[in-house]
Structure formats: structure tokens, C-alpha cells
Amino acid sequence: MIDALVLLVVAPIAVLLQSAALWGAWHPPAWANPLALFFLLQAFAAAAEAVVFRRMLPAAQREPRAAVLAHLWLLSFLAPCVGGLIEVLVTAVGAWMPLPRQSRSIATLGRPTFVSHLVSRVVHGAGARVQSRLANAKATTDDRLAALVAIQHLPTRTTGALLRDLLADPVDDLRLLAYGRLDQAENEIVTRISDGRAALERAESDEDKHTLHRQLAELHFELIYQQLAYGDVHAHTIGQAEAHVRAALATKDGERDAALWLLQARLALARSAPDEAGPFLEQARDLGFPRERLLPWLAEVAFRQGQPAQAAAIVGELAARAGAPALKPVIEYWTR
């Protein structure tokens, strides 16, 4: 409505001014400098045309108003009659034939950069204190909450026991937050198990079945490894994982999957059956699983079978092969 009114009122004025400017350029009055008169009238005509042409632009391109008006005025001033019109036509073509969406997608912003002034607010080395702050029932609730939030990103494998202890904390907020963390970690795995089961029901080829059974066995084992299953549910979860391992082994060429035999050995160790784990580890080795990667479990089997000398010998072998840094304290203990 406003657009129509503006066009009705201002457009005739623009036409008149533009005509006057052009007519004045060819038929200048005797009393005036022809060039100065033309520029003056053209400036007024361009202003009126800018108002009209701006109203003809799509709504999204009309702002910022001052800049758009200035742009249109300049075009109309420098190219009488056609300057602003070209702009409107170009915009119309752009609106009718937009570029593919991907090519005009919003640019990705880079990660925020390092801000030096924040460094002064940082207390370095605080991470080491976080767990002790959390366990200290005499610390303020806010302090303990902050500590709990800080350890949220650590793997549940390392924080599981602490979080489980907090479920019985007298402070409601801590209990709820600890529960939330454990629940979230469990949900992530359980959702994948649920998806895996659905995929297994649809699977037809032996290869797909093997892959899915193996994946499900690993996911169930993850629940145990992350200390998210305990009590009777722990035993049940091991049972489920073992059932999937057996099903994966039963598929065509499934028995040749060395990693499955290792998983079965770890499951046997999880239910305290080292005598069963030993042969599984040997089977994995026979199928080509690197012996040096089996050494920690072989040592554990020997230890659980009550053969400390054998365990020490295997750990010694591990030391000779420069095991992972995390194993260093164990190696030192057993080879002293």
C-alpha cells in the first residue's frame, strides 16, 4: 500500500525532474550555465528516482535505508534514466533466478581465537584438585557442583565409581547431576545397541550378520568396561555379549576373526573365568593377532590363575617391548 502510494506520488515528480534535466541540457536558458543547471536538476531527479527505485526492490534489499538510497542516487545521477533501473532489473533477475542454495549458504565462522586477557583469570593446575573437591563433603555445594561439571567430559571408565558414590550424597543437586552423567553415558551405548538390534533383524547376508553381532558384542562389553552395568545386570550383560560373540563366530568364516576371540577372552576375564580366557587368547594369537598386544591379558590370566611367576615373566616381556606409558607403573611393580 505504502509502496503504491510512493510510486504514485514520487514517480511523476521523478519523471518531471529527469525530463527537465535532459531538456535543460539541450535548451539551456541564457541566464544559466548549462552544465551547472544540468547537474543541479539531475541531482534532484536522481534523489526522486532513488526513492522510487528503492520501493521497487525486494523487501530484504531495502535496508540499510540510507546506504541503499545513496547507492541508488549515485547510479541515477551518473547514468540518467537507466542507472537505477538497471539496479532494479539486476535485483529482479537475482530474485527470479537465485543461485543454488549451497553456493549462497552462510559462511562458516572460524572457532573463536585465543583471547589473552582470559589467561589472567585461569588457575592452572586446578584439574588435579577437582576429584578431591568432589569427594570432600565439607566443601561448599557450589564448589562441588563446579567440580562435578568439570569431570563430566572425562570417560565414565575413570569417573564411574566416583559418580556412583555420589548417588548417595546428601546434596540433592549432586545426586541428580551424577545420575544424569551416568544415565547419559549409558543411553549413548544403549541407543546404539537398540539400533544394532533393529539392523540385525533386517540383515540377510552372513557378512552383515557377522558385523552386527560383533558390533553388538562390543557395545555390550563397552557397558561393562565403562562400569555402567553392575550386580545381576552386569552378569546378564556379559551373557548377552557372549551370546553375540558366539553368534558372530558361527557365521561363515566368523571363526577366523581374531579380535572376536580376544573379546571372548576379555568377557571370560570379566566373569572371573581365567581358565576359559587362556585358550581364547591362544586362539586369537594363532589367527594372527599380534602377541605383544595380547601380553597384558596373558599376564592377567596367569595372575588370576595363581601363577605370579608366570605373570611377572610375561610383564617382563612387555617391558622389553616398551609397552604403553599407562602400563609403566605395572611393569615397574612386576619387574622390580
Partner 1 sequence: MNTSLNRRAVDADVCLLLEGTFPFVRGGVSSWVNDMIRAYPDTRFGIIFIGSRAQDYPKAAYALPENVVHFEAHHLYEDERADATPRRAKRGDRDAFAHSAKFHQLLREGGQREEVGAMMVDLIQMLTKGGTLVEEQFLHSREAWDYIEEQYTLHCTDPSFTDYFWTVRNMHKPLWQLARVAQNTLSARVYHTVSTGYAGYLGALLHYRTGRPLVVSEHGIYTKERKIDLLQSRWIRDNRGLFERDVSDVSYFRDLWVRFFEALGRFAYDAATEIVALYEGNRLRQIADGARAERTRTIPNGIDVDGLRPLVERRDPNRPRRVVALIGRVVPIKDIKTFIRAIFVAMRTMPDIEGWVVGPEDEDPGYAKECRALAQSLGLERNLKFLGFQKVADVLPKIDLIALSSISEALPLVVLEGFAAGVPAVTTDVGACRELIEGAVAEDRALGTSGAVVPIANPAALADAAIALLTDAPRWEAAQRAGLERAMRYYTRPQMVERYRGIYQRAASLPNATPRDAAGGGICPMHGGRAGAHSTAQPADALPAPSGTLKRSR
Least Å distance, CB 186 to partner 1, is 8
For partner 1, the closer of residues 89 and 176 by Cβ is 176
Least Å distance, CB 131 to partner 1, is 11
Site for partner 1 in 225-244 (CB under 8 A): 231-233, 236, 240
- DSSP string over 204-215: -SHHHHHHHHHH
For residues 313 and 307, give the distance between their C-alpha atoms in angstroms, rounded to a whole number: 10
Contact between 194 and partner 1 per CB under 8 A:
yes
Site for partner 1 in 196-225 (CB under 8 A): 197
* Residue among 2, 123, 324, 326 that touches partner 1 (CB under 8 A): 123
Least Å distance, CB 152 to partner 1, is 7
Grid cell, residue 29, equals 536558458
Contact between 64 and partner 1 per CB under 8 A:
yes
Contact between 72 and partner 1 per CB under 8 A:
no
Least Å distance, CB 118 to partner 1, is 4
* Residue among 146, 200, 319, 327 that touches partner 1 (CB under 8 A): 146
Contact window for partner 1 (CB under 8 A) among 12-20, 119-127, 282-290, 303-311: 119-127
Three-state DSSP at 31 gives coil
Contact between 144 and partner 1 per CB under 8 A:
no
Least Å distance, CB 172 to partner 1, is 7
Query: What count of Cα atoms within 13 Å lies in the side-chain half-sphere of residue 21?
Result: 25
DSSP H helical segments within the chain, as ranges?
A: 2-26, 34-56, 65-78, 83-96, 116-119, 127-135, 141-150, 156-166, 172-202, 206-225, 232-250, 258-270, 274-286, 291-304, 308-320, 328-335
* Residue among 102, 103, 108, 113 that touches partner 1 (CB under 8 A): 113
* Residue among 30, 60, 67, 309 that touches partner 1 (CB under 8 A): 60
Phi-psi region of 308 (alpha: psi -120 to 50; beta: other; left: phi over 0): alpha
Contact between 94 and partner 1 per CB under 8 A:
no
Contact between 183 and partner 1 per CB under 8 A:
yes
The residues, any chain, with a CB within 8 Å of residue 94's CB and separated by 6 or more, are: none
- Whether the Cβ atoms of residue 264 and residue 280 lie closer than 8 Å to each other: yes
For residues 177 and 65, give the distance between their C-alpha atoms in angstroms, rounded to a whole number: 51
Cell 563397552 locates to: 222
- How many CB atoms within 10 Å of residue 296? 16
- Whether the Cβ atoms of residue 269 and residue 280 lie closer than 8 Å to each other: no
Alpha-carbon separation of residue 261 from 71, 230, 288, 289 (angstroms): 74, 24, 11, 10
For partner 1, the closer of residues 20 and 69 by Cβ is 69
Contact between 152 and partner 1 per CB under 8 A:
yes
For partner 1, the closer of residues 92 and 176 by Cβ is 176
Cis peptide before 64 (omega within 30 of 0): yes
For partner 1, the closer of residues 68 and 74 by Cβ is 68
Contact window for partner 1 (CB under 8 A) among 116-124, 247-255, 311-319, 328-336: 116-124
Residues within the interface to partner 1 (CB under 8 A): 59-60, 63-65, 109, 111-115, 118-119, 121-124, 126-127, 129-130, 133, 145-150, 152, 167-168, 172-173, 175-177, 179-184, 187, 190-191, 193-194, 197, 231-233, 236, 240
